[in-house]
Structure 1
Amino acid sequence: MRYGKVKQFDRNSSFGFITDDENQKSYFVFYTAIKEEGYRRLQVGQKVKYQLAQGKNGLQCVNVYLAD
């Protein structure tokens, strides 16, 4: 798993970006990738752990969990 912080997340559009702790690159995240109960959303600055997968426009975050 990789670790990062939420850079941006638009609740209305249900997508955002996570900045990776190691390489400081930002990756796209869609709300369906968030593995939390109830309404899935992220807040700016929140620590998360995730995996990267190839999407149709490049690498994107999948299996996103709130970091402990």
Structure 2
Amino acid sequence: MRLGKVKQFDEGSSYGFVEDDLNHKSYFVFYTAIKEEGYKRLEVGQKVKYQLAQGKNGLQCVNVYLADSKDKD
């Protein structure tokens, strides 16, 4: 899985962007990609692990977990 940090997340619109730790590119993330239990939201600056997949407008984050989560490695 890739590592990055949340650059922006708008709860009202339920989407945001994650900046990749390696290439520093930003990727779209939609709230349905968040795999944590409970209320699905991300905080700016929060570290996450994720995968990339082709979306309608390019690569986007899928299978998003908090970096300290034990759910996925």
Q: Same fold (TM over 0.5)?
A: yes
Give the equivalent residue in structure 1 for 2:41.
41
Q: Secondary structure at the match of 1:52?
A: strand
The Cα of 1:38 is off from its aligned counterpart by 1.0
After TM superposition, the runs of 4+ consecutive aligned structure 1 residues lying more than 2 A away are none
Q: Secondary structure at the match of 2:43?
A: coil
| Unaligned runs of at least 5 residues, structure 2 | 69-73
Give the equivalent residue in structure 2 for 1:64.
64
Give the equivalent residue in structure 1 for 2:10.
10
Q: CA RMSD in A?
A: 0.3
Q: CA deviation digits over 1:14-68, x for unaligned, max 9?
A: 0000000000000000000000111100000000000000001000000000001
Letter in structure 1 aligned against 2:54: Q
Aligned pair count reads: 68
Q: Secondary structure at the match of 1:50?
A: strand
In 1, Cα distance between equivalents of 2:47 and 2:59? 19
In 1, Cα distance between equivalents of 2:37 and 2:17? 20
How high is the TM-score relative to the length of structure 2?
0.92
